[in-house]
Amino acid sequence: MKISDKRINNRNLILILLFGNILLSLISIYIGFYSISIKEVFLTLINPLFNNNLINSAPQAVTIIFNIRLPRIFSALIIGAALAVSGAAYQGMFKNPLVSPDILGVSSGAGFGAALAISFGLPYYQVQLSAFIGGIIVVFLTDFISRRMKFNQIVNLILIGTMLNAVCTSLITLLKYIGDTNETLPAITFWLMGSLSKITKEGVIFTIIPMIVGFTIIYIMRWRINILTLGDEEAQSLGINPKLNRSIIIFGATLLSASAVCLGGIIGWIGLMIPHIGRKISGANYKTLYPITALLGSGFLLIMDNFARALLNIEIPISILTSFIGAPFFILLISKKEE
Amino acid sequence: MKLQINNLYGGYGKSDILKGISFSVNTGEILYIVGKNGSGKSTIFKFLLRFLTPSKGEILLNDKPIETYSTKEFAKFIAYIPQSHNTVFGYNVLDIVMMGRTPHLTNLGSPSSEDYQKAVDTLKLLGISHMANKNYTKLSGGERQLVLIARAICQDAKLLIMDEPTANLDYSNQQIILNTIQKLSESGYTIIMSTHSIDQPLATSSKILLIKKGKSIAYGNTTETLTSDFLECIYGIPMDILSVLDRNGNKRNVCLPLIS
C-alpha cells in the first residue's frame, strides 16, 4: 500500500502562508491615518534601489513608511510569531492544549515591571527593559521555587506560576491604585492592554537578539518537544533527558514571550489560539507545527494591528481586538465537528 | 543481548517495594512477570528502565551495570512499550512510529528521510501501513498497541519491555498482539512482559517470574513453574491448571480459578 506523504502538503502550506504574509505586509504599508497611494508606497519602497532617483517622494511619506509603518509591521510579524511559537512550546511542555505563554508568570511579571517603571516616570525604552526583566525574573522564580517542592516538576511549575501570577497582579493593582490618576493610571492600563503604536527602531533592536535566541532554541528542540509530550518516562525510554530538555525549551519559550510582551505589551489569545489552529491544519508534529504556527501568528497579529490602527479614528488597544475576534473564532473552531 | 537482575531491592521512597528480585533473560527469550495488582510488576519495569534507582542489588545489561550507559545509548538496547495510551495531541501514526528513531538522531537533530523510510518500512512489516496517516488518538486500543510495538521496532532496540500489552483488549486484538510478540521473539527480540492472563504463558514455552508483595515466589520455565500451588500462593484463591483438547485435538493447559 502506498503511503501518501503529508510532508509535501505541509511544505506547500508553509510556502502559501509565507507568500500570504509578504502580501499582507505590503498591503499593511498602505493602511494608516496618513493617506499614501499604492503607487507612492510602491515607488517609495523601491526608490532606494535606484539611488532615490526614481521619484521625489514626499518626506512625510518616506518617514512614515520607513520609520513608522515598516518597523510596526516588522514588530507585528515577530511578536505574533514569538507569542504563537512560545504558546505552542509551553503547550507541549505542559501536555495541555489550553496552556498559554503566561502560565509561568511571564506576562504578569512583565506587566509589573512595566507598571513599576511607568510609576517612576521612566522613559518608554526603560519601561520596555523593565518589562523584559520583570517577565524573566518571575519565570526564574517560578522555576527556582518549584525545584524545592515535592510534587512532580510540571505540577510544581503550574502551581508556583499561578501563585506568582496572582502576586504580580495584586502588585500591579496596587501601583494603579496609588498612581496618579491623570498620567500613571491610564499609562499602566494602556500598556497592559497591549499596543504596537509606540514601537521604535530601538525597541525592535533591543528585543531582536533574545527573540532570535528563543526562536533558534525552539527550532532546534522542535522534535524533542514531540517526545516530551508523551510524558517523562516515555521520553527517557526514547533516549532523552526530560528535565534538562524541558528546562531548555521553557527558557527559549520564555525569551520569546518576554521579548514579545516587552515590545508590544500584553497581547492575549495568540499564544493559546494560534497553536490550536496550526494543529488543526498541519497536525501535531512540532517539526511542521513550528513554522506554520509562527507564520499564522505573524499574519494574525498583523491583521489585528491593521484593524487597531484603521478601524476607528483612535488607536484601539490590540488585546481588545485579539480577544474580541480571537475568542469567538476559537470557540467556532473547537466546536466544529471533525470530519 | 543479556539482561541480568541480581538481588534487587528498592522502591519509591525510603521503604523497599521490591525485596530480592533476581532473574535473567537472553536473546530471543520471553519472560512473563505475573503477580497480583500492587505486587511490584510495574515497579520492576521502572528499575529496568532506570526510572528508579535500586537501594541494593544490580542490573546488568550485557554484563555492564545499566547506570554506566548514557540515556541515549541505553535507549538503543531497551525499548519500552507502555499500556496502550492516548497522547494529548493528535499525532499521526507515522509520527508516533518515527519517534522511535530519537535515540539514533544527533543530539539536536530531527528525523531525516532515512528515518521516515524506516518508519514506513516498519509499518509495512507489521501490516499496518493503512494506519500511517491516521490520528493515533482515534485508533482502537489494539491498534494503538500495535503502533507502540512498531515504534519500539523502529527504535532498533532488541529488548522490549511491555507493561500488560493485552490489558483491556478483546480476544481478537489480544491474539494479534500475542502473535506479533511471538514473531518478534522468533526473529531475535528479547521480551519482558507483565500479564494477568495466565493462559498466555501457559500457551508458550517461555520463562516466568511469579511475585508476591515484591518478593520472588517462583522463577523458571512456564511448564515447571506454573503450578496450582504457586498460583494459589500469589493470588490467594484456589486455582487449577487443567489439560484440555482444543477442536483440532491439540492438548493445551488452561488456568481455572475456582469460584467458591
> Which residue in A95, A234, A240 is closest to B88 by CB distance?
A95
CA–CA gap between residue A102 and residue A179 (Å, rounded) = 25
Q: How far is Cα B52 from Cα B72, in angstroms, rounded to an integer? A: 17
| Residues of A at the B interface, defined by Cβ within 8 angstroms | 1, 3-4, 6-7, 92, 95-97, 220-224, 226-227, 229-230, 233-234, 236-241, 279, 283-285, 287
Most confidently modeled range among A194-203, A293-302, B171-180:
A293-302
CATH architecture label of B2-77+158-257: 3-Layer(aba) Sandwich (3.40)
- How sure is the predictor about B46, in pLDDT bands with cuts at 50, 70 and 90? very high
Q: How confident is the model at residue A2 (pLDDT cuts 50, 70, 90)?
A: low
Is the CB of residue A300 less than 8 Å from the CB of residue A270? yes
CB atoms A238 and B75 under 8 Å: yes
Sequence ranges of the domains in chain A: 22-92+99-331
Mean pLDDT value across residues A182-191:
89
What pLDDT is stored for residue A45 in this prediction?
A: 78
Residue A199 pLDDT more than 90? no
- Which whole-number Å values give the CA distances from B92 to A96, A279, B121, B185, in the listed order? 18, 11, 16, 27
Instruction: Quote the CA–CA distance of B247 and A125 in Å, as a whole number.
Output: 84
The whole-angstrom distance between B79's CA and the closest CA on chain A is: 6
Amino acid code (one letter) for B79:
A
Indicate the pTM of the whole model.
0.89
For every residue of A271-337, DSSP letters joined together read HHHHHHHHHHHH-S-HHHHHHHHHHHHHHHHHHHHHHHHHSSSSPPPHHHHHHHHHHHHHHHHHHSP
- Minimal-distance CA residue of chain A relative to B49: A237
- Give tens-digit pLDDT for B14-32: 889 999 999 999 999 999 9
What's the pLDDT at A339? 46
Between B4 and A265, name the one with better pLDDT.
B4
Say if the Cβ atoms of B92 and A285 lie within 8 Å: yes
Residue whose C-alpha cell is 502560565: A103
For A180, the 3-state DSSP assignment is coil
Residue type, A299: G
Q: Do A3 and B110 touch (CB under 8 A)?
A: no
A253 CB-near residues (< 8 Å, 6+ apart): A85, A86, A89, A90, A93, A101, A214, A218
Burial class (CB in 10 A: 0-12, 13-18, 19+), A152: exposed
More confident residue, A154 or A55: A154
**pLDDT exceeds cutoff 70 at A1:** no
Mean pLDDT of A174-187: 90
Write out pLDDT tens, residues B72-118: 999 999 999 998 788 889 999 999 999 999 999 988 888 999 999 99
Distance CA A19, CA B34 (A): 59
Please write the tens of the pLDDT for every residue from A256-301.
Answer: 998 998 888 889 889 989 999 999 888 999 999 999 999 999 999 9
The 8-class DSSP code of residue A220 comes to: H
How far away is chain A from the Cα of B248, in angstroms, using its nearest Cα? 35
- What is the architecture, at CATH level 2, of domain A22-92+99-331? Orthogonal Bundle (1.10)
Work out the average pLDDT over A85-114.
89
Interface test with A, best of B45, B69, B89 (most A CBs within 10 A): B89
Say if residue A56's pLDDT is above 90.
no
Closest CA of chain A from B237, distance in Å: 34
Three-state DSSP class for residue B153: helix
CA angle A109, A110, A116 (to 5 degrees): 90
Q: Averaged over B134-145, what is the pLDDT? A: 93
Rounded to the nearest integer, the mean pLDDT of chain B is 92
- CA–CA gap between residue B102 and residue B155 (Å, rounded): 7
Average pLDDT over residues B40-56: 95
Average pLDDT on A129-145 reads 90
Sort residue A321 into left (φ over 0), alpha (ψ -120 to 50) or beta: alpha
Does the distance separating the beta carbons of B100 and A234 come in below 8 Å?
A: no
Please give, rounded to a whole number of angstroms, the shortest distance from the CA of A291 to a CA of chain B: 14
Q: For residue A84, give the C-alpha cell.
A: 504563537
The answer for residues whose C-beta is within 8 angstroms of residue B55's C-beta and 6 or more apart is: B9, B10, B11, B16
Cβ neighbours of B88 in A, within 8 Å: 95-97, 229
Are the Cβ atoms of A233 and B123 closer than 8 angstroms?
A: no
pLDDT reading at A54 higher than 70: no
pLDDT-derived band at B167, boundaries 50, 70, 90: confident
Instruction: Name the residue ranges covered by the structural domains of chain B.
Output: 2-77+158-257, 85-157
**pLDDT at res. A303:** 95
What does each C-alpha distance from B242 to A19, A260, B245 come to in angstroms? 71, 70, 10
User: What ipTM was reported for this prediction?
Assistant: 0.91
The CA distance from B50 to the nearest CA of chain A, in Å, is 9
**Burial (CB count <10 Å: 0-12, 13-18, 19+), residue A2:** exposed
